[in-house]
Chain A
Amino acid sequence: MSDLLTLSNVETYYGPVMAIRGVSMTVRTGDVTCLLGANGAGKTTVLKTISGAMEPQKGEILFNGESLKGLAPDVIARRGIAHVPEGREVFAFLSVEDNLKMGAYSRRDSRVASDLALVYDYFPVLRDKRRQSAALLSGGQQQMLAIGRALMLRPQLMLLDEPSLGLSPKLVAEIADIIVRLNQEQGVTVLLVEQNAAMALSRSDFGYVLENGRIVMEDKAAVLADAPDVQEFYLGMKDDGVRGGRRWKKRKTWR
């Protein structure tokens, strides 16, 4: 399969603080790729750099073989990258349907109406509430709305930033399943950023682990899920029954 998105040696700063330190990664067409990491590892910054909200100081980002350097985020979105930001940023005072239509603002083709129906098929609850303002939706419904709005762009690549944040376990599983269905049925390539490593790894084809702004592990998701370091530090499993303690002594293999 071909590479849809390639980052090579990307460095991004918040003022003087280097947030990502030379990240290189690849998202292959048709895959669900996940990017794991703890709080502050730089996951969100990686996504913001891809979608153009932040400008990388160094390195190169190729999408479909073309550089995204210097493009404004709305231009990048129109090229086919839909970013669903953390915290489900919806247009709070617009109706659900207007929110979705705004996702297709840049499109001029005639399939917008059928895509709207498609989004409603994936998220029936949104159809029921399509006249309500988005502020009145629950957290999970807002997340669905944000994903649905991104789908309305008909993107080649969807960047999902912590879609499980603040949702109940049942909803997390529901949304994760829909992401997989979107990937398989609509052919949307997905780059999924998650703290919920168990959910992300079980749904992904390939995974990266980000720590302190660096990629420290990368492999097929199934392999990552079996790696002892990932199991201990991200999946919360332990290889022995000793309570507490061990964690502080043991060092990660990449340190």
Chain B
Amino acid sequence: MDALQLLVAGVSQGCVYGLIALGFVLIYKATEVVNFAQGELMMIGAFIAYTFINILAWPYFYGVLATLLSMAVIGVVLERLLIRPMLGEPPFAVLMLTIGLGFLLRAVAGAIWGAEPKTLSTPYASDVLQLGEIIVGYGNLAIVLGTGVLCLALFLFFRYSRLGIAMQAASQNQLAAVYSGIPVARLVTGVWAVSALIAAIAGVLVAPVSLIDPQIGFIGVKAFAAAIVGGFGSLPGAMVGGLLIGIAEQFAGLYLPPGFSDVTAYIILLVMLFVRPQGIFASMMQKKV
């Protein structure tokens, strides 16, 4: 039963990694930019939810809705203000910019909300679900369910909606998309909004389970490993990579000496890069010359 209990905890943690990894992959596929501030966006999302729900005492549902909206707006503003002017600069420069943005967001969050950990109050988080001998907190259940619903929504969006297909088209062949009259610049802004939205959802889901402080964005580093393990550029891969790392961490925590749990993500990453460098879901086909 121990193993099953660990699995549940691992899946829930893995979903969080997966959600952040989704944000990495979305932006990377659309713009070939790696947004290293994705974890910090999650942190900001959690703090905004805390502000609405705990400080302003809005009802949970409206607080979450307001958080999602504000984060989408923040995504748009970041793209317009920081990323678009960098168009045509080397990818390395943009990458440094996003790392800088991460530092900035941490500092800003520390200045506004302070360094001591906060808890987001929810109507559900304190309860647990007893399934035989396994105990699942509602907070963890919400993470898994929320992630599932979000993945389904993303799948439907990219598979069937005109806008979603256009976003895929723009990421697959920017030149052809532009020549077809697709407003690629506007779609890229949209991708940033979606990706900030996902970060916000991750933040809202994770905040009731773990404490919120300006440092929780560092989880993004592990999520980045998850994205690579899944095959950078594959949305299902990001989820699978996240789950893999989340589950492995839990088991390493129990069965391996102390300290191993924190490096599991990187061990998996290293092994993956040796064995199958293109990741689990290698969606990137070699570009034909």
Q: Which residues of A contact B172 (CB under 8 A)?
A: 91-94
Contact present for A85 and B181 (CB under 8 Å): no
Asked whether B179 lies within 8 Å of A102 as measured between CB atoms, the reply is: no
- In the bound complex, what is the Cα–Cα distance between A89 and B178 (angstroms)? 11
Task: Provide the residues of chain A in CB contact with B184, threshold 8 Å.
Answer: 74
A101–B169 Cα distance when bound, in Å, is 11
The distance in angstroms between the C-alpha atoms of A77 and B178, with both chains bound, is 8
Q: How far is the CA of A227 from the CA of B165 in the complex (A)?
A: 49
Which of B180, B283, B285 contacts A102, CB < 8 Å? B180
A106 in the interface, Cβ–Cβ < 8 Å?
Answer: yes
Q: Are B182 and A106 touching (Cβ within 8 A)?
A: yes
Query: Is A72 interfacial (CB 8 A cutoff)?
Result: yes
- Min Cβ gap B182→A in Å is 5
Of B166, B181, B285, chain A has the most CB atoms within 10 Å of the CB of B181
Encode contact with B along A100-144: 1 for CB under 8 Å, 0 otherwise.
Answer: 011101100000000000000000000000000001000000000
Report the separation of the CA atoms of residues A123 and B239 in the bound assembly, to the nearest whole angstrom.
Answer: 39
Cβ–Cβ contact B180 & A53, under 8 A: no
What is the CA–CA distance of A78 and B182 in the complex, to the nearest angstrom? 9
- Which of A83, A94, A135 lies in contact with B179, CB distance below 8 A? A83
- Distance (Å) between the CB of A246 and the closest chain B CB? 36
Is B165 within 8 A of A98, CB to CB?
A: yes
Given that A91-B169, A94-B169 are contacting pairs, would A73 and B179 also be in contact in the complex, using a CB cutoff of 8 Å? yes
Contact A74 B183 (CB under 8 A): yes
Complex Cα gap A146–B173 (Å): 12
Chain B nearest CB from A68 CB (Å) reads 14
A162 CB → nearest B CB, Å: 15
Q: Assess the B180–A72 pair: CB atoms within 8 A.
A: no
Q: Tell me the complex Cα distance, A83–B176, Å.
A: 8
Q: Is A90 an interface residue (CB 8 A)?
A: yes
Inter-subunit contact B175/A105 (CB<8 Å): no
Residue of B162, B165, B185, B283 most packed against chain A (CB within 10 A): B165
Q: Is the CB of A85 within 8 A of B175?
A: yes
A193 → B minimal CB distance (Å): 14
The 4 closest A-B pairs by CB, nearest first: A77-B181, A106-B181, A89-B176, A83-B179
Between A and B, 23 residue pairs with Cβ closer than 8 Å are: A53-B179, A73-B179, A77-B179, A77-B181, A78-B181, A85-B175, A89-B173, A89-B179, A90-B173, A91-B168, A91-B176, A91-B177, A92-B173, A93-B168, A93-B283, A94-B165, A98-B169, A99-B169, A101-B165, A105-B162, A105-B169, A105-B180, A105-B181
